[in-house]
Amino acid sequence: MEESQKQRDNLILIGFMGTGKSAAGSLLAEKLKRKFIDLDQLIEENSGSSIAAIFEEQGEEHFRELESETLNKLIKAGAANLVIATGGGIVLREENRKLLKTLGKVILLTATLPEIIIRTSGDRSRPLLDSEDRLETIRVMLETRKPFYREHDYCFDTTGKDLESICAEIISALRLQ
């Protein structure tokens, strides 16, 4: 099988912060007996810094660079048969959107604004949400990013759903079992 064809076997979760990419991705991997990779976690391990520290010390552009580098490394390593959860802003770069398509099936998770507010409340690990008016910050970011999330193969709304139902929906729609 061609290297590029093998890489189509990966399942890649994209979506705004708080849409459940990491939690659903990890459960999905467990159910499908696949390896799970959380891209943010991989970036933290490779750089030896937390996401918050990277943003604070080197800035968002540098973090976006690390996201691209990590995707390229996965492709070069012939990553296959994985479930990969990405950070919410990975789609901002055109380069990354292309790399995601090369890696596998792109699955968008969505949730309503109120649900995202609830799910991300009290969380201090997301530097982009560190603002006085979280609701307005999230509302504007969601609107700005809308066009970038359009490039996906599948889309699932996670609003009001638990992880089990989200995984069941994905498995059924993609005929994975």
CA–CA distance from 79 to each of 4, 16, 55, 101, 128 (Å)? 10, 24, 27, 13, 29
Beta bridge partners of 109: 156
In this complex, which beta carbon is closest to ligand S3P, that of residue 40 or of residue 115?
40
Q: Which of 6, 8, 9, 22 binds ligand S3P (CB under 6 A)?
A: 22
Residue type at position 102: T
CB of 39 to ligand S3P, least distance (A): 8
Alpha helices in 33-162 (DSSP H): 39-47, 51-58, 60-76, 94-103, 113-120, 134-149
CB of 31 to ligand S3P, least distance (A): 20
Q: How many contiguous H segments (helices) and E segments (strands) does the chain have?
A: 9, 5
Q: Which of 119, 126, 139, 161 binds ligand S3P (CB under 6 A)?
A: 126
Phi-psi region of 121 (alpha: psi -120 to 50; beta: other; left: phi over 0): beta
Burial class (CB in 10 A: 0-12, 13-18, 19+), 108: buried
In this complex, which beta carbon is closest to ligand S3P, that of residue 17 or of residue 106?
17
Q: Which of 113, 128, 155, 168 binds ligand S3P (CB under 6 A)?
A: 128
Site for ligand S3P, residues 129 to 168, rule: CB under 6 A:
none
| 87: contact with ligand S3P by CB under 6 A | yes
Q: Which two tokens stand for residue 76?
A: 């070069």
In this complex, which beta carbon is closest to ligand S3P, that of residue 8 or of residue 50?
50
| 42: contact with ligand S3P by CB under 6 A | no
| 127: contact with ligand S3P by CB under 6 A | yes
Binding-site ranges for ligand S3P (CB under 6 A) = 17, 21-22, 40, 51, 87-89, 126-128
